[in-house]
Amino acid sequence: MPLMHRIALALLPLAACAAQAHEGATCQVNAPAAVVSARSAFAAQPDSLPALFRLADALVEANCYDEAVHALEEGEERHPRNPELQAKLRTTRSLVSEQTYFAGLEQAEVAARVSRNVLRCSRLGDLNACDEALKLKPNDLDILMAKGDAQLAAGKPADAEQTYLRARQFAPDEAKLGTQLAAAQSQRQAALASCQKGTGDAALAACQAALLRGADDEFTVHTRLAQIYQQRNQPAAALNAYIAANSLRRGDRSVALGIVAITDADPHRDAVASAARGSALLTLRRGTEALAALRQAQALAPAMPDLRNQIVQAQTLARVEAKARTSESAAATPTRVAETAPAQPAKKYSNETEASRSY
Amino acid sequence: MVDDVLRRCVLMAAPLMLSACVARPPTIAHVHLGHALTGVHVTPGKQGYLLVAEKQAEDVFALAQKATTGADLAQLKADVAAAVNATNSTTEFGLKHSLVMASNHISFAATSPDASKNVQDAAPVFAHDTVRVVERCELIGLLGKDVAASSSVKEAQLLAGEIAVLAKANLEGEDADHDGVVGNQPAEFGMKQLRAELDGIIARENPPYRTVDQWYLFNLVKLPNGRWVFDKLGRGGNIDGYQ
């Protein structure tokens, strides 16, 4: 198990460092009152053994073992061969090594968990185990490689490509990484072709496998996924895919039509769906409807980003539409028609004569 | 004539009498070392902690090897469970517990008033060097749980194989850095290297370490004031939680 061994070797020295760093920080910054008081008493009487012992005891009580050992070692120079001092020094040194030892045991537990997850990730293709291992060691090259391999084996070339690319940040010259990355890219291209040309479940699986965040073809894959979901009568998934595509490239007419078609069929829209509908209607130059949808989104989620800007655009467009409507209606309606139109009979209310009556 | 015989007898017996007079109890530090090496009253067969740990390491390896050859999932799981028990059981002095106790007793030796500088210096190093074996024990426990939860013979066999590799490393050490040498650094240590390390500590002792008599091994007690003494009543007890 070379991979697990390398990780274990890397983890072992951490224990002592962690324990010592923690102790040092606590003892120097937030020393308890007893330590502060014992320090001043000892500073006033540096030759006093009882004062030294009180300081050492206070430091031990505060788990500041290293500092206690230093204090006693300094005392040893002033009081050589004092049996009580020797005994205290021996015990305190033992506490230091004990603390390091227990930190080591705790670290062993952590290292074992990492090794277990790496083993399951690399040997059994257990992606959950890969993620668990990366939680503890997020930038570990070996674990990233193992995860990429597991993703590739699971037919997720896009995810594998992403993982290998992340791993490459830590080892740009790693030959195996280059080979695996090329394999993932090749597998993804094949999946991309099936996604575009295939049908049914196979096409859906291919699109999901090929979908790579940040890739040039991400918009195309989302759009294709949306179409496949629509064909399968899965409007929620289709809408999500269209929304993802729309967020990548706003203003695409086919995506806008897709979003409007799906949201037309469902009047109970949440904030995201309303915002997507508003955005799509803006693309289709339907300002008044866009404004209504965007305002609905704003009412549901006032903090949603980019809404305000789109609302301003929709308001402008709506005003243009209103003007156009007014002009159209003015052009279409001759003024004399209005003049010759029969006058509406004035309404007569039963209480007309009762001015004081409240309606 | 009688006087002459008597004188000769006295002269011949004198060295024996003298040696009887100067025979001293072992140092407290050496008794603690004896608990790690030779015997202690709480373990199975009253064997020293390191001996128990070595025996358990052998058993774990044998059980794990048996598990790797099993094609029957239930039997494989039973073998792995037994290997995990021999690794991590506290009540039955599994490998991990026995090794930690051995390390603790070497640390007790280092804090004894009569401890040599050799023991004082070596105890924390030995404790640190046990960590890799402890880590393998932890991993065996985790993989054992995975085997117990597995419904696939193939997966269980693979995991049992890994447990066997770990068990072998716990016994003999490993070559983690692939330099062609097994156990040449603490991160590669198994029981074999830890035994050698403890033997080295013993060999460096001055005055020399001698095998501690069972009476001393089983009757060392810690008083409430923290002092270690021998229980003159020989109750072989466990005073103040000392194990």
Query: pLDDT, tens digit, for every residue of A25-61?
Result: 567 667 788 888 998 999 998 889 999 999 999 998 8
Sorting pLDDT into bands at 50, 70 and 90, what band is B38?
confident
pLDDT > 50? residue B160: yes
Q: B225 contacts in A (CB within 8 Å)?
A: none
Contact between B194 and B133 under an 8 Å Cβ cutoff? The reply is yes
Which residues face B221 on adjacent strands?
Answer: B229
pLDDT > 50? residue B21: no
Contact between A147 and A155 under an 8 Å Cβ cutoff? The reply is no
pLDDT > 50? residue A344: no
Give the three-class secondary structure for B220. strand
Instruction: Kindly report the nearest CA distance between residue B7 and chain A, in angstroms.
Output: 46
| Stretch (H or E) spanning A66 | helix A65-78
Q: Which residue of A has its CA nearest to B97?
A: A105
Q: Which residue of A has its CA nearest to B152?
A: A124
CB spacing of A119 vs B143 below 8 angstroms: yes
For an interface test with B, the pick among A17, A82, A94 (most B C-beta atoms closer than 10 Å) comes out as A94
Sorting pLDDT into bands at 50, 70 and 90, what band is B8?
low
Total beta-carbon pairs less than 8 A apart between chain A and chain B = 90
| Stretch (H or E) spanning A306 | none
Which pLDDT score is estimated for A347?
A: 46
In one-letter notation, the amino acid at residue B193 is: Q
Q: Closest CB to B139: pick one of A6, A116, A124.
A: A116
B240 near A CB under 8 A: no
Instruction: Kindly report the nearest CA distance between residue A231 and chain B, in angstroms.
Output: 38
Which pLDDT score is estimated for A308?
A: 92
Residue found by looking up tokens 């407290």 in the block: B28
CB spacing of B131 vs A108 below 8 angstroms: yes
Q: Which of B69, B62, B60 is CA-nearest to residue B143? A: B60
Percent of chain A predicted with pLDDT > 70 = 84
Instruction: Please provide the average confidence, as pLDDT, over all residues in chain B.
Output: 86
- pLDDT tens-digit series, residues A161-187: 999 999 999 998 889 999 999 999 999
Q: Which of A126, A170, A123, A173 is CA-nearest to residue A144? A: A170
pLDDT > 70? residue A193: yes
pLDDT > 90? residue B44: no
Interface ipTM: 0.79
Which pLDDT score is estimated for A269?
A: 85
- Rounded to 5 degrees, φ, ψ at A352 are -55, -30
CB spacing of A112 vs B128 below 8 angstroms: no
Which pLDDT score is estimated for A212?
A: 92
Which pLDDT score is estimated for A286?
A: 95
B83 near A CB under 8 A: no
Q: A100 contacts in B (CB within 8 Å)?
A: 124, 127-128
Sorting pLDDT into bands at 50, 70 and 90, what band is A351?
very low
Which pLDDT score is estimated for B140?
A: 97
Instruction: Kindly report the nearest CA distance between residue B39 and chain A, in angstroms.
Output: 23
- Rounded to 5 degrees, φ, ψ at A251 are 100, 5
Choice among A114-118, A150-154, A330-334, B18-22 with the minimum mean pLDDT = B18-22
From the CB of residue B44, how many other CB atoms can be counted at a distance below 10 Å? 11
Give the pLDDT mean for B215-220: 79
Q: A113 contacts in B (CB within 8 Å)?
A: 138, 142
In one-letter notation, the amino acid at residue A136 is: L
Which pLDDT score is estimated for B2?
A: 54
Q: Which residues of A make CB contacts under 8 Å with B?
A: 1-2, 4-6, 8-9, 12, 15-16, 87, 90-91, 93-94, 96-98, 100-101, 104-105, 107-109, 111-113, 115-116, 119-120, 123-124
Instruction: Kindly report the nearest CA distance between residue A112 and chain B, in angstroms.
Output: 5
Q: What share of chain B is helix, strand, coil (3-state, %, to 5)?
A: 65, 0, 30
Instruction: Kindly report the nearest CA distance between residue B132 and chain A, in angstroms.
Output: 7
Question: Integer distance in angstroms from the first to the last C-alpha of chain B?
Answer: 59
B124 or B11, which is more confident?
B124
Choice among A61-65, B17-21, B50-54, B234-238 with the minimum mean pLDDT = B17-21
- pLDDT tens-digit series, residues A263-308: 998 878 899 999 999 999 999 999 999 999 999 999 999 998 889 9
Which pLDDT score is estimated for B10?
A: 52
Q: B117 contacts in A (CB within 8 Å)?
A: none
pLDDT > 70? residue A224: yes
Angle, vertex CA A96, rays to CA A94 and CA A102, nearest 5: 100
CB spacing of B120 vs A90 below 8 angstroms: yes
Which pLDDT score is estimated for A353?
A: 44
Question: How far is A98 from B110, CA to CA, in rounded Å?
Answer: 11
Which pLDDT score is estimated for B234?
A: 62
Give the pLDDT mean for A201-224: 94
Which pLDDT score is estimated for B114?
A: 87
CB spacing of B131 vs A116 below 8 angstroms: no
B111 near A CB under 8 A: yes
Which pLDDT score is estimated for B182?
A: 95
Tokens coding A353: 């004569």
Choice among A189-198, A318-327, B18-27, B123-132 with the minimum mean pLDDT = B18-27
Q: Closest CB to A5: pick one of B138, B155, B176.
A: B176
pLDDT > 60? residue B74: yes
CB spacing of A105 vs B131 below 8 angstroms: yes
Which pLDDT score is estimated for A342?
A: 45
Give the pLDDT mean for A120-145: 91
Give the pLDDT mean for B203-215: 85
B99 near A CB under 8 A: no
Residue found by looking up tokens 């072998």 in the block: B168
Give the pLDDT mean for B96-110: 92
Give the pLDDT mean for A10-27: 46
Burial class (CB in 10 A: 0-12, 13-18, 19+), B43: buried
**DSSP class of B240:** G
Residue found by looking up tokens 């274990």 in the block: A8
Q: What share of chain A is helix, strand, coil (3-state, %, to 5)?
A: 75, 0, 25
Q: Closest CB to B187: pick one of A8, A105, A123.
A: A8
Percent of chain A predicted with pLDDT > 90 = 53
**DSSP class of B185:** S
Instruction: Kindly report the nearest CA distance between residue B139 and chain A, in angstroms.
Output: 5
CB spacing of A112 vs B142 below 8 angstroms: yes
Give the pLDDT mean for A82-107: 82
B47 near A CB under 8 A: no
Q: B153 contacts in A (CB within 8 Å)?
A: none
pLDDT > 50? residue A359: no
Q: A101 contacts in B (CB within 8 Å)?
A: 103, 107, 124, 127-128, 131
Which pLDDT score is estimated for A320?
A: 92
Q: Which residue of A has its CA nearest to B154?
A: A124
Give the pLDDT mean for A249-253: 93
Contact between A265 and A230 under an 8 Å Cβ cutoff? The reply is no
Which pLDDT score is estimated for A16?
A: 40
Residue found by looking up tokens 């006093």 in the block: A48
Give the three-class secondary structure for A248. helix
Give the pLDDT mean for A330-352: 51
CB spacing of B146 vs A116 below 8 angstroms: yes
Question: How far is A295 from A308, CA to CA, in rounded Å?
Answer: 9
